Amino acid sequence: MNYKTKLIFIALLPIILISMATIFVVNFQSIRLATAQGEIVQKMYLDLKRKELKNYIQLASGAITPMYNSNLKTKRQAQREATEILRKMSYGEDNYFFVYDNKGENIVNPRLTYFVGNNWYGLKNDEGKHIVRDMIKIGQEGGGFYEHTWLKPSSGNYVDKLAFSTYFPKWNWMLGTGIYLDEVSERVLSVQAELQNSIRQTRFVLLLLTVGAIGVTTLILASLQFSEQRLADARLKKLTARIVDIQEDERKRVSRELHDSISQLLVSAKYGIENALGYSRKGSKIIQPIENSITALDEAISEVRRISMDLRPSVLDDIGLAAAITGLGADFTAHSNFIVTVDAEHVHDLLSDEAKTGLYRCVQESLTNVVKHSNANNVSIILKKTKSTINLDIKDDGHGAPLGVRFLQETTGLGLRNMQERIDSFGGKIQFMDVKPSGFGVRITLPISKDT
């Protein structure tokens, strides 16, 4: 893992951990909230149902109270009229009133008519509750609520039911009614579903915020890295340009020392030996060693001049870039296995001295690469000027880079990279390309930096 990846990971880790912790807390609290809210809603609905049942019982009781308290009718006649009233009273699809006597015989049941006339005192449900007996007892004790499972007429299923019973002692009647609680359960589930939906939306929003925070953080880090990279590149270019300037200054100094000092010493030594040769007697054995020394000195002087020219060609300063490139091409033609043709226009003062030196070094590096890698027979160098740019094209007819430009960059070390950095420092462009049908090419474009 590199440094940049570690930096991004360290920056994003707290956001991810906080987001995960937040989502976990939201999930945990949502479960508790859903449970608590379900209980609250259930209790609220049960309280409403209890009040509703009391109101229904009071309504039914009020409806039969005139018959119950009447002294003008016989008991049987009054009970018959009360039975007819209760049989016709119902609310909702499944809710009705029922009457049992104190022995468990059903007197009124408008939904389950087969109950009427039969004794259900010993009836037990699956929970083991004696439903009729228990409700009679509750009614005799002053009335109250009773929960049990009972058959729901509309669905034919046994569901939870909340009942309320009261007692009429003069007739030994237990009057009751009930409300099925599956509606309450459905309502509780509906509320919990709405809550879960809200929680899911909250989680989704948190997820979006997390992704957004990660994205913004990544963009900020990338922007900072990009800014730092640009700053580092700019500093590197300045440093590269400074190093190139220092190199050129050092080359100038060494070239001048070679030309003005060592070369002059060698010339003086040659003249001295030639004078000594003039004073030697003809046929002396010393003549041949002296002539060999003069030849060696001539070669040394030529080599020093060549090295001095490679370090800093005086023609570049004295005559100009076009002449320097032409001379460089002639030198490589003389000492290499390929022919260099040069077509160079004079650029005069359209480029700075540093830019001219940079172009010269690029030509020098390209020709050196041809010697080492290309196996070419011909190299062409074209230097042209336009209204706004100076263009330099170097092409050979060798085998080119076997694996492309990248291979050549790797095999030639820092040569091509130095060329790239030199041209970049002057705001120019350099392209490395394969030449068809074979060969390798370099194209350099520099903006004109001075007016003619």
Domains of the chain: 3-180 (3.30.450.20), 315-447 (3.30.565.10)
312 pLDDT band, cuts 50/70/90, is low
Contacts of 434 (CB under 8 A, 6+ apart): 400, 401, 404, 405, 440, 441
pLDDT at residue 407 in the model: 47
379 pLDDT band, cuts 50/70/90, is very high
151 pLDDT band, cuts 50/70/90, is confident
pLDDT 10s digits, 258-271: 666 777 777 777 77
pLDDT at residue 314 in the model: 66
* Interior/surface letters 353-368, b for 16+ CB within 10 angstroms, e for the rest: eebbbbbbbbbbbbbe
Q: 98: helix, coil or strand? A: strand
Q: What integer best gives the mean pLDDT of the chain? A: 82
CB of 321 within 8 A of CB of 329? no
pTM: 0.45
CB of 99 within 8 A of CB of 175? yes
102 pLDDT band, cuts 50/70/90, is very high
Q: Is the pLDDT of residue 319 over 90?
A: no
Q: At what angle do helices 182-257 and 415-425 cross, to 10 degrees?
A: 90
pLDDT at residue 405 in the model: 52
Q: What percentage of residues in the chain have a pLDDT greater than 90?
A: 26
Q: Is the pLDDT of residue 19 over 70?
A: yes
343 pLDDT band, cuts 50/70/90, is very high
pLDDT 10s digits, 162-201: 999 999 999 999 999 998 888 777 777 777 777 778 777 8
Please tell me the least confidently modeled range out of 309-323, 416-430, 437-451. Answer: 309-323
Torsion angle in degrees (nearest 10) through CA of 183, 186, 188, 192 = -170
Q: What percentage of residues in the chain have a pLDDT greater than 70?
A: 87
CB of 291 within 8 A of CB of 277? yes
Q: Is the pLDDT of residue 100 over 60?
A: yes
**293 or 280, higher pLDDT:** 293
Please tell me the least confidently modeled range out of 76-85, 284-293, 410-419. Answer: 410-419
**Residue with structure tokens 């379900």?**
38
- Compute the average pLDDT of residues 433-448: 88
pLDDT at residue 286 in the model: 77
Amino acid at 441: G
- Compute the average pLDDT of residues 283-290: 74
Q: 61: helix, coil or strand? A: helix
Contacts of 444 (CB under 8 A, 6+ apart): 359, 362, 391, 392, 393, 423, 428, 429, 430, 431
- Compute the average pLDDT of residues 11-18: 77
pLDDT 10s digits, 22-31: 777 777 777 7
CB of 57 within 8 A of CB of 175? yes
Q: Is the pLDDT of residue 45 over 60?
A: yes
239 pLDDT band, cuts 50/70/90, is confident
447 pLDDT band, cuts 50/70/90, is very high
Q: Is the pLDDT of residue 411 over 50?
A: no
pLDDT at residue 310 in the model: 67
pLDDT at residue 452 in the model: 43
Q: Using alpha carbons only, what angle is made at residue 295 by residues 291 and 300, rounded to the nearest 5 degrees?
A: 145
443 pLDDT band, cuts 50/70/90, is very high
* Count of beta carbons in the 10 Å neighbourhood of residue 373: 20
How far is 35 from 280, CA to CA, in rounded Å?
A: 124
How far is 317 from 92, CA to CA, in rounded Å?
A: 112
Write phi, then psi, for 279 (nearest 5 degrees). Answer: -90, -5
327 pLDDT band, cuts 50/70/90, is confident
